[in-house]
Amino acid sequence: MATTTRIGCGAGFAGDRIDPAVELARTGELQDLVLECLAERTIALGQQRRLADPAAGYDPRLERRLAPLLPETLSRGVRVLTNMGAANPPAAGRVVRSLLDRLGSTAPVAVVTGDDVLDRIDPDSPALEDGRPLAAHGELVSANAYLGADALLPALDTAAAVVVTGRVADPSLFLAPLAHRLGWRPGDVPAAAAGTLVGHLLECAGQLTGGYFADPGHSDVERPAHLGFPWAQVRADGSAVFGKPAGSGGRLDRHTVRQQLLYEVTDPTAYRTPDVVLDLRGVRVTDEGPDRVRVDGAAGRERPDELKVSVGYRAGHRVEAEISYVGPNAAARAGAAADIVGERVRGLGAAPRIEVRGGGDDCRLRLAALGADRDVLDTLAHEVESLYTNGPAGGGGFRSRVDEVVGVLSTLVPRSVVEPRVTLLEGRRAAA
């Protein structure tokens, strides 16, 4: 087993940039590159797309993101792990398989499934958010358990060039390849704590290198338009040095690291993941030079007996409608428009938010509402559109949309009901 390994993060959310990942693959001297592109909102949107089309549900940027990246990772032997499978990992795996085939690579794609537990959860289970039964919120359409690193390890025992998953806990995407490279055993709490800390710091990509830290005049960051993404050199003892590509924009120091350390952590003494309950109190963050920071001191307790599940339910529909007023007296005309719409929709049983944005000679009226009756929401949008010729004067640039809303709740399930599986998609071999 190796005594040290280097891992990088090439995406911190579904809408992240693509070019910093290519730069990191090309110059980072990595063994593994993780693309973390999934959140409660994005997997709910994926489930929504899959409801409309059973072949959809994976990240719509999958091919666009991997097409420029895979030539770099394949040529350098960098393994890629990503949760861009979202609500449909098998379909995502087939897309990746096609990309590898076009590049002439026969390396397999490993698809990790088993996070979908819709048929195994009890609709009467309490939601963590309010304690009410899940089914009381609406029809349940999805339930995805947060898998841990142990679910990924069988995939890493293969020769896969790319590992595609659905809902896996963010730091677990990093802990799994670290454990695989460094020989950490399942159940090794200090190792799991150290790897989870590394994963938590890396998982948001540019946030660690100054992106979310930037506040001009207060927390300045150099060349933010060319932000570099981070890597971590991790030793078998769990200590890690973080860096970013030489010459890239951004900032990596103890200040950016400490901010990310507490990101989304409600209890620093007990940050619960599927792999360990992480304790951050003893973590040390030390500058080691320009864009180099050492982090160690993670501690933890045994992993929880239950896994968190992200549950999607039908929450009705959402309407948004807007129209603009510009030029002299625009603010008064927009305000009058808001009053007209408010009077016209009174009594429809909806409670829309009607507001005027902007000011002076450039204003925009916006209406938004949630509701169970789509016909009512269509009527709300129509009332805004009707302002075109029914006044006030000069309205233009109308736009509207009505979308189904998949709400998101959380609950817990016993580990025993979750059964991860790995499927290998082999490449085509050239004829002799």
Tell me which residue of 360, 370, 355, 359 sits closest to 322, measured CA to CA. Answer: 355
Kindly tell me if the per-residue pLDDT of 215 is higher than 50: yes
pLDDT tens readout for residues 393-404? 999 999 999 998
Kindly tell me if the per-residue pLDDT of 258 is higher than 90: yes
Kindly tell me if the per-residue pLDDT of 432 is higher than 50: no
Amino acid 51: pLDDT:
84
Kindly state the average pLDDT of the residues 126-134.
Answer: 96
**Are 208 and 352 in the same domain?**
no
Query: Residue 334 and residue 322: Cα distance in Å, rounded?
Result: 11
Kindly tell me if the per-residue pLDDT of 191 is higher than 70: yes
| Neighbour-count burial of 131, counting CB atoms closer than 10 A to its CB (0-12 exposed, 13-18 middle, 19+ buried) | exposed
Kindly tell me if the per-residue pLDDT of 170 is higher than 90: yes
**Are 30 and 76 in the same domain?**
yes
* Confidence label for 429 from pLDDT (cuts 50, 70 and 90): low
Number of folded domains in the chain? 2
Residues 6+ apart with CB under 8 A from 382: none
Q: What are phi and psi of 19, to 5 degrees?
A: -60, -35
* Confidence label for 42 from pLDDT (cuts 50, 70 and 90): confident
**Does 128 map to a domain?**
no
The three-state secondary structure class of 157 is coil
Amino acid identity for residue 105 in this structure: S
Kindly tell me if the per-residue pLDDT of 431 is higher than 80: no
**Are 316 and 276 in the same domain?**
no
Euclidean distance between the first and the last CA atom of the chain, given in angstroms as a whole number:
36
| Neighbour-count burial of 64, counting CB atoms closer than 10 A to its CB (0-12 exposed, 13-18 middle, 19+ buried) | exposed
**Does 123 map to a domain?**
no
Amino acid 358: pLDDT:
95
Q: Which domain, by its residues, includes 210?
A: 4-118+144-305+416-425
Amino acid 45: pLDDT:
83
**Are 294 and 350 in the same domain?**
no
* Single pTM value for the model: 0.92
**Are 319 and 421 in the same domain?**
no
What mean pLDDT, rounded, does the chain reach?
Answer: 95
Query: Residue 401 and residue 127: Cα distance in Å, rounded?
Result: 30
Residue where the block lists tokens 């940039």: 17
* Confidence label for 150 from pLDDT (cuts 50, 70 and 90): very high
Amino acid 112: pLDDT:
98
* 46-50, 104-108, 149-153, 168-172: least confidently modelled range: 46-50
**Are 325 and 219 in the same domain?**
no
**Are 253 and 380 in the same domain?**
no
Amino acid 379: pLDDT:
97
Tell me which residue of 318, 328, 321, 329 sits closest to 365, measured CA to CA. Answer: 321
**Are 283 and 366 in the same domain?**
no
Amino acid 44: pLDDT:
80
Q: What are phi and psi of 162, to 5 degrees?
A: -135, 135
**Does 254 map to a domain?**
yes
**Are 95 and 231 in the same domain?**
yes
Q: Percent of the chain having pLDDT more than 90?
A: 92
Residues 6+ apart with CB under 8 A from 275: 148, 149, 150, 169, 171, 172, 175, 192, 195, 196, 303
Query: Residue 45 and residue 51: Cα distance in Å, rounded?
Result: 10
Kindly state the average pLDDT of the residues 3-31.
Answer: 97
**Does 353 map to a domain?**
yes
**Are 300 and 345 in the same domain?**
no
* Confidence label for 428 from pLDDT (cuts 50, 70 and 90): confident
Helices (H) and strands (E) in the chain, counts: 11, 18
**Does 129 map to a domain?**
no
Whether the bond into 268 is cis, omega within 30 of 0: no
**Are 315 and 301 in the same domain?**
no
* Confidence label for 39 from pLDDT (cuts 50, 70 and 90): confident
How does DSSP assign 16-27, residue by residue? --SHHHHHHHHH
Copy the structure tokens of residue 123. Answer: 């609709």
**Does 125 map to a domain?**
no
**Are 322 and 285 in the same domain?**
no
Looking up residue 387, the CATH number of its domain turns out to be 3.30.70.100
Number of Cβ within 10 Å of residue 269's Cβ equals 12
Whether the bond into 392 is cis, omega within 30 of 0: yes
* Confidence label for 40 from pLDDT (cuts 50, 70 and 90): confident
pLDDT tens readout for residues 329-363? 999 999 999 999 999 999 898 899 999 999 999 99
**Does 134 map to a domain?**
no
**Does 231 map to a domain?**
yes
pLDDT tens readout for residues 50-82? 888 999 999 999 999 999 999 999 999 999 999
Residues 6+ apart with CB under 8 A from 301: 189, 270, 276, 277, 279
